[in-house]
Amino acid sequence: MAKEGRNIIDEQVVVGEEKGFVRLATLNRPRQLNVISSEVVLKLAEYLETWEKDDKTKLILIKGAGRAFSAGGDLKMFYDGRESKDSCLEVVYRMYWLCYHIHTYKKTQVSFVNGISMGGGASLMVPMKFSVVTEKTVFATPEASIGFHTDCGFSYIHSRLPGHLGEFLALTGARLNGKELVAIGMATHFVPSAKLADLEERLVGLDSGEMDVVRSTVEEFSEKVDLDKDSILNKQTIIDECFSKESVKHIIQAFEAEGSKEGNEWITPVIKGLKRSSPTGLKITLRSIREGRKQTLSDCLKKEFRITVNILRSTISPDVYEGIRALTIEKDNSPKWSPATLDEVAEEKINLVFEPLEGDLELHIPETEENRWGGKYET
């Protein structure tokens, strides 16, 4: 019986547990680095809605099984649906709708991010009331490099980072570690991984979801953050100077000029990565981040939904499928972009990706508290 019970849990993509007044959600696809599939989104939304409405639930904990928190969206799922129009419409809609509810969740949540947290997976980290990172945490938003764009609310999040760091992270896919995430406010606490189990046990034992109580408990285990000398965050002046330029082309030119100066050797591999990335993905991403500065969370998510649907429809380019093929299917790392250069990507084409979708095919964000959990895909 015990073995049967273990197998049932192993098969669940998200394991939900009730522990007193605490509810624990574990992303449970460790062999796939806990990538987000349609089933994962469905179960997470179901748990979070139930727990927010449950008076007995005071605190929510989210973590990932294995060496990843979540590596983001299930790219193979998108690739397999490439021949069928809007085959992934439902999972995209549900994910962005869920992102809104995570950002605005009524109860205290704590995410334990002890590993890879990338793309859409990081949308289960950054918006939480408390996000605990460790020395094993690796964050990135590398979507532009494969012909996609920075989504799941990150056109809102990145556009609010210091200076032009958001443009830098979105365009280059640069990685940040746990200490760096705390330093820029994308995580709240750094806790050594060896202490995570004890912290979880303490939180489960709390008879409270009060912010101050949870905060003081986490702080008992957390450590002060000191950035490494070569941290990218210590390059903010150069980043701001280059990534404030008006276009991707001008950003790369300015960045190359800085890279030619003594002591800026770190720029060379970043430039190589930018030049290997999808020109269409880069242009879409820069515009989305720039627009995000003046948009609300709801506006950003609605915009991202339109962009994603148009990208998956190959409205102006099939780059996303070529990027996924080169990265994860055939793994030759030699994508053939179409168009192949930044100069060939016309602004009129980029405009098409941002246009409202036909009919009622838009993301419906709840506008009143009474209808907070309304706007579901099925309705």
> Which helix (H) or strand (E) covers residue 211, if one does?
helix 211-221
Q: Cα separations (Å) of 49 from 24, 101, 139, 148, 308?
A: 14, 9, 27, 29, 25
Contacts of 238 (CB under 8 A, 6+ apart): 258, 264, 267
* Catalytic residue of the set 64, 115, 119, 151: 151
Cis peptide before 339 (omega within 30 of 0): yes
Rounded to whole angstroms, the Cα distance separating 218 from 188 reads 10
Active site (annotated) includes residue 120: yes
Active site (annotated) includes residue 259: no
Q: Report CA Rg, the chain.
A: 21
* Catalytic residue of the set 72, 73, 119, 147: 73
* Catalytic residue of the set 115, 120, 173, 178: 120
3-state secondary structure 292-313: HCCCCHHHHHHHHHHHHHHHHC
Rounded to whole angstroms, the Cα distance separating 309 from 293 reads 22
Sign (positive or negative) of CA dihedral 371, 377, 378, 379: positive
Q: Cα separations (Å) of 192 from 64, 69, 132, 224?
A: 16, 15, 10, 11
Q: What is the CB neighbour count within 10 angstroms for residue 65?
A: 18
CA nearest 288: which of 152, 91, 183? 152
* Catalytic residue of the set 64, 74, 119, 143: 143
Active site (annotated) includes residue 210: no
CA nearest 116: which of 43, 65, 160? 65
Active site (annotated) includes residue 73: yes
Greatest extent of the chain over all pairs of C-alpha atoms, in Å: 66
- CB contact at 8 A, 228 and 216: no
* Cα 351-337-314 angle, rounded to 5 deg: 45
- Catalytic positions: 73, 120, 143, 151
